[in-house]
Structure 1
Amino acid sequence: MSKLEGNERWKTKMIMTEHVEQFEEQQRNAGSNMITIDERTMVRDFILLPYIDTMVGKSLKELEHSGNILKRAYSMAGQAIQRRIMQDTYRLQKELKQRNIKVLADEQDEFILYHKIFCRGYQERFGLTRDVMRTEISLRLTKYTAEIGAILKEPTT
C-alpha cells in the first residue's frame, strides 16, 4: 500500500488513463505470483499421493500372503488403483512444473507434516495435520475404488 492510497485528497486529482491502466495491470500481475487455491489443492494432492501408493502397496503385500479365494481379483484391482495413483502423480508433477511451483519436504512435528512451496519467486510453508491427511487419503481411496467399481459394472458386449 502506497502512502497516497489512504489520502482522500489524491482521489480528486486527474490521472492519465494509460497510467491507471498500467497501475491496475501491475496490481494484477503482482497477485498472480501468489499461489492460488487450486494450486494449493494440487500441492496437497501431490503430497498425499505417495502415502496412498504406499498404503495400497502394503495392502497388496498382505494380500499375497492371505488365503482369500478372491486374492487375484483384489490384487488386480489394487494394481489398477496403483496405476491411477502413478498417473495422477505424474500429471500433478507436470502441471506444477508448468506453473513454476516446487514442493520440498521440510519438517515433521508430532501432528503436522510441513513442506516448503516455492511458487513464482515466493516461498511459503505448507502444513498438513495427520487428521486432515487421513481424511483426504480415505476420500481419495474411496474415489479410486469407485472408479474401479464403475469399470467392473460396465456391461460387456
Structure 2
Amino acid sequence: MSKLDGNERWKSKMLMTEHVQQYEQKQGTEGRKMITVEERTMVRDLILLPYLDTMVSKSLKELELSNSILKRAFMLAGQAIQQRIMQDTYQLQKELKQHNIRVLADEQEEFLVYYKIFCRGYQERFGLTRDVMRTEISLRLTRYTAELGAGLKNQHLSS
C-alpha cells in the first residue's frame, strides 16, 4: 500500500490507460510469483505425508506379528488410512504442479529438516522442526482416524 492510497485528491488525477494497465500487470505478475500461505500449507503437508505413511507402514508390520484378536480389524483400518495418505499425496503433487511449485529435500540438522521450494522462478528454503513435524503428523493421523470412524459409523447406521 502506497502513501497515496486512501488519499481522495489523487482519484481525480488523470492517468493514461496504458500506464494503468502496465502497473496492474506488473502488480499481478509480482504477486503471483511469491508462494502464498495456502501453497505453503500444501508444501508442508506434502513433506509430512511420506513420514506419516512410513509410520503407518511400521505399525502395520508390527500388527502382522501380533496375536491380537482384533488384528484383522486394525490391519484393515491401517490399510484404509494408508490408502487415504496416498490419495492425498497424489492430489497435493498434482495441485502443486499446476501452481508450478517443486519441492526438494535439502539438508537435515539436529532438530531441523530443510527443503528447497522452487516457485514460479523463485527459490526459497523451507525448514520444519522435528517437534512441529511430530505435532502435525499426530493431528493428521487423528483426522484420518476420525474420518475412518465416521465412515464406519455412517455405514453401520445405513445398514
SS of the equivalent of 2:150 reads helix
Q: 2:132 corresponds to which residue?
A: 132
Is residue 62 of structure 2 the alignment partner of residue 62 of structure 1? yes
Q: 2:107 corresponds to which residue?
A: 107
Distance in 2, matches of 1:91 and 1:14, equals: 48
So what's the TM-score if we normalise by structure 1?
Answer: 0.89
- 1:19-66 CA distance string (max 9 Å, x none): 123212211211111100000000000000000000000000001111
Query: Displacement, 1:16?
Result: 1.7
Please tell me the residue identity of whatever aligns with 2:137.
I
Q: 2:96 corresponds to which residue?
A: 96
Please tell me the residue identity of whatever aligns with 2:158.
T
Distance in 1, matches of 2:148 and 2:13, equals: 64
Aligned counterparts, 1:113-152, within 5 A: 113-152=113-152
Query: Displacement, 1:13?
Result: 7.8
Q: 1:156 corresponds to which residue?
A: 158
Query: Displacement, 1:114?
Result: 0.2
Q: 1:22 corresponds to which residue?
A: 22
SS of the equivalent of 1:43 reads helix
Please tell me the residue identity of whatever aligns with 2:36.
T
Distance in 2, matches of 1:151 and 1:127, equals: 35
Distance in 2, matches of 1:13 and 1:86, equals: 56
SS of the equivalent of 2:127 reads strand
Q: In angstroms, what is the RMSD of aligned CA positions?
A: 1.7
Distance in 2, matches of 1:83 and 1:96, equals: 20
Unmatched tracts of structure 1, length 5 or more = none
Count of residues in correspondence between the two structures:
149
So what's the TM-score if we normalise by structure 2?
Answer: 0.88
Unmatched tracts of structure 2, length 5 or more = 4-9
Q: 1:71 corresponds to which residue?
A: 71
Please tell me the residue identity of whatever aligns with 2:103.
V
SS of the equivalent of 2:66 reads coil
Give the percent of matched residue pairs that are identical in Structure 1 and Structure 2. Answer: 73
